[in-house]
Amino acid sequence: LSDITGVIPALITPFDENEAFDEKRMRACVRFLLARKVDGFYLTGSTGETFLMSPEERKRVVEVVVDEVAGRVPVMAHIGAIGTHLSIDLAQHAQKTGVDALSSVPPFYWSFPQHEVLGYYADLTASTDLPMIVYNVPLAGLFGFDMIAKLAQIKGVEGIKYTAPTQFEIMRIKAEISKEFVVYSGADEMAMSGLSFGADGIIGSLYNLMPELFIGIRDAIATKDLGKAQALQETANAIIFFGASRGLMAVIKRGMAWQGADAGYCRRPFSNYYDPEAEEALKNEFRLLKK
Ligand code: NAY
């Protein structure tokens, strides 16, 4: 896992006007992001609208992206579901398809006790040979530091996607668990702080829309140019906060379309800019923001 680093979009899944998975748009988005030099892909996560898709659709997305990437950059697949059975099925399919790593949210909704969550990850890692990235995200219930330490003991768990506001723990994971335990910072608004606290990479939804800004942050942190990193983060955050109040997923997809990669639409209940006038108004507001 340690060789998968850098700026990794949590890839969007394009749907067409009728909410069907749009394979052609998916392939075009992958090519667009490869041309913009992203370091890898994280598929069928929250940004990929995974919980709005059937298992068959999730598998299809993985097949299409792996085929289009054709080994040029590493691919990780999020295979999490509430039930162990389904997650194992998705994990084994992802391995067969040729992904490089797996990731999963903990089982959610019933607030499972620690030993059941640990059992979930142990069952998953036993089911394939791929490294597992556990996912610390408020949406699925955050792990405490002690739980992260326990998860890191499971054979096959080699990293964490850390999407929590308590970012000081990134430093603590490296210091107290292991320098080798790979950390991906998951809050795009804090990409700079995640990387400067020792994260090996950043995985997030905005890297679909504006990868260059974050590639710039990656490089500025590597060369210890904090002023530059901060300026880039400020620009990125203005766009993130703009999008957050206007339906972030739809803004990312339309924003990609304006740059030549039509990322299609979202599945309901996410909102969309289907109406060309509404989209034009959004575009105009965005132009004002950039001034
Ligand atoms: C995934 O699984 O799709 C992600 O990596 C999602 C990461 C995003 N966090 C959440 C909670 O959705 O990219 C972030 C997030 O959209 C961004 O920081 C803006 O808040």
CA-closest residue to ligand 1 atom 19? 188
C-alpha of residue 206 to centroid of ligand 1, in Å = 8
Residues annotated catalytic, as ranges: 135, 161
Confidence bin at 291 (pLDDT 50/70/90): low
Whether the pLDDT of residue 290 is over 80: the answer is no
C-alpha of residue 46 to centroid of ligand 1, in Å = 7
The pLDDT tens digits of the residues spanning 207-236 come to: 999 999 999 999 999 999 999 999 999 999
The pLDDT tens digits of the residues spanning 142-200 come to: 899 999 999 999 999 999 999 988 999 999 999 999 999 999 999 999 999 999 999 99
Ligand 1 lining (C-beta closer than 6 Å)? 10, 42, 45-48, 78, 137, 139, 163, 186-189, 203-206, 240
Tell me the helices (H) and strands (E) count for the chain, helix number first. 11, 8
With respect to residue 78, please indicate whether it lies within any of the assigned structural domains.
Answer: yes
Number of independent structural domains in the chain: 1
- ipTM of the prediction greater than 0.90, yes or no: yes
Task: Give the number of the atom of ligand 1 that is nearest the alpha carbon of residue 47.
Answer: 3
C-alpha of residue 200 to centroid of ligand 1, in Å = 17
Q: What is the mean pLDDT of residues 5-25?
A: 98
Task: Give the number of the atom of ligand 1 that is nearest the alpha carbon of residue 135.
Answer: 2
Q: What is the mean pLDDT of residues 128-143?
A: 93
With respect to residue 1, please indicate whether it lies within any of the assigned structural domains.
Answer: no
C-alpha of residue 252 to centroid of ligand 1, in Å = 12
With respect to residue 82, please indicate whether it lies within any of the assigned structural domains.
Answer: yes
Task: Give the number of the atom of ligand 1 that is nearest the alpha carbon of residue 187.
Answer: 18
Neighbours of 238 (CB within 10 A): 12
Instruction: Match 């507001």 to its residue by tokens.
Output: 285
Q: Which of 191, 195, 210 is nearest to 289 (CA)?
A: 210
CA dihedral 61, 126, 154, 78 (to 10 degrees): 10
C-alpha span between 156 and 131 (Å, rounded): 5
**In the 8-state DSSP scheme, what is residue 265?**
B
With respect to residue 42, please indicate whether it lies within any of the assigned structural domains.
Answer: yes
The pLDDT tens digits of the residues spanning 82-130 come to: 999 999 999 999 999 999 999 999 999 998 999 999 999 999 999 999 9
Q: Which of 150, 9, 145 is nearest to 69 (CA)?
A: 9
Q: What is the pLDDT of residue 139?
A: 86
Instruction: Match 């069928």 to its residue by tokens.
Output: 44
Segments forming the whole domain that contains residue 51: 6-290
With respect to residue 11, please indicate whether it lies within any of the assigned structural domains.
Answer: yes
Q: What is the pLDDT of residue 289?
A: 85
Find the length of the chain: 291
- Give, for ligand 1, the residue of 78, 163, 208, 253 to mutate: max count of ligand atoms closer than 8 Å to Cβ: 163
With respect to residue 72, please indicate whether it lies within any of the assigned structural domains.
Answer: yes
With respect to residue 141, please indicate whether it lies within any of the assigned structural domains.
Answer: yes
The pLDDT tens digits of the residues spanning 41-89 come to: 999 999 999 999 999 999 999 999 999 999 999 999 999 999 999 999 9
CATH number at residue 105: 3.20.20.70
